Structure 1
């Protein structure tokens, strides 16, 4: 199961050397968009010929932070991702930015959030740059207003900063590797005494 919104927020991840931002420069963003061209469903403009500008990269990273803020709200009262919990924009600002960006998608869902998220759709247009951000924002809106939001979790394994969709009742981590790392860390703590 692939969710574009999860792929997008997972452009911030961690490995043994620390946090990695796959969108840290225009080349990284170009590679990520080309790799996800089919998921973006935005036509041939995002395939092999796509090249991100620095301005588009900065706008896309700003959108990613807004989506991560909405993900942090969705997993509450659980903890948000440790990657950027202290640096996320405010909820209202994030909600407004995601909805505004989603308007650039050919058909854009809009997210309303009273007690629970709900979904409506608006038809729009836009240039290639706006359409890319629009599709990413639309994917986030669709995900957060959909049933998968109830299963959204943050991985609590040491050093992991990812969000994931819990697929079975006993799942606690985003991957087997994170589960192994968490169990090894727990074993070390228990036997260190």
Structure 2
């Protein structure tokens, strides 16, 4: 069975950047419509601090796309050991400031629990959460393990917790590389 795209399970900021891919040579935006954004948010619901019951609109999508661009540019620079663009860092800071999170305390099942409560429109809340996830990733030592998939046509990122990991997905890109290698060997033998 082919894995479902976009792939998820990396740090949230990486999953966000990975919603843009190259498939069969074409650039694909897997979060290109409000409906696709809603689908991605639903798949990420257990990792997003605040619930997103409302349906996103074009304005919400634009706010999330802006954060995605800032995260992508920042991660690209950091991966290469370069200083991130100042406007990308400023954009991430502004996104967080637009919908600051307030910890709301409540009593549930015999203990105090907290949940982040953010004001504002859906897109601002989601953008703030994603910018915050990027800030956490950028300041975590795990950032040193961030890699780009080694499949020549792939642009996906992943955290290489295993030093031998080379692909975003062994089932997709790893298989492509193995099949291509098989065909090259057998074609050379003929």
TM-score category by the smaller chain? Answer: 0.7 to 0.9
Partner of 2:106: none
Contact 2:148 2:158 in 1 (8 A): yes
Helix, strand or coil at the partner of 1:140:
helix
| Aligned: 1:127 with 2:120 | yes
| Aligned: 1:32 with 2:40 | yes
Contact 2:21 2:27 in 1 (8 A): yes
CA distance 1:99–1:189, change in 2 (3 Å): farther
> Gapped runs of 5+ residues in structure 2?
1-8, 103-115
Cα deviation, 1:131-164, whole Å, max 9, x if unaligned, reads 2110010001101110210100111203211010
Q: 1:136 aligns with which of 130, 150, 156?
A: 130
Contact 2:37 2:56 in 1 (8 A): yes
Cα deviation, 1:40-89, whole Å, max 9, x if unaligned, reads 1113xx14xx21110111121111011000110121059xxxxxxxxxxx
Deviates more, 1:137-146 or 1:155-164: 155-164
1:173 and 1:182 map into 2 onto residues whose CA distance is 9
| Aligned: 1:42 with 2:42 | no
Partner of 1:55: 59
Q: 2:148 aligns with which of 133, 149, 154?
A: 154
**Aligned alpha-carbon RMSD (Å):** 2.8
| TM-score normalised by structure 1 residue count | 0.73
CA distance 1:189–1:63, change in 2 (3 Å): same
Matched residues, number: 164
2:93 and 2:173 map into 1 onto residues whose CA distance is 33
Partner of 1:10: 18
| TM-score normalised by structure 2 residue count | 0.74
| Aligned: 1:167 with 2:161 | yes
1:20 and 1:166 map into 2 onto residues whose CA distance is 24
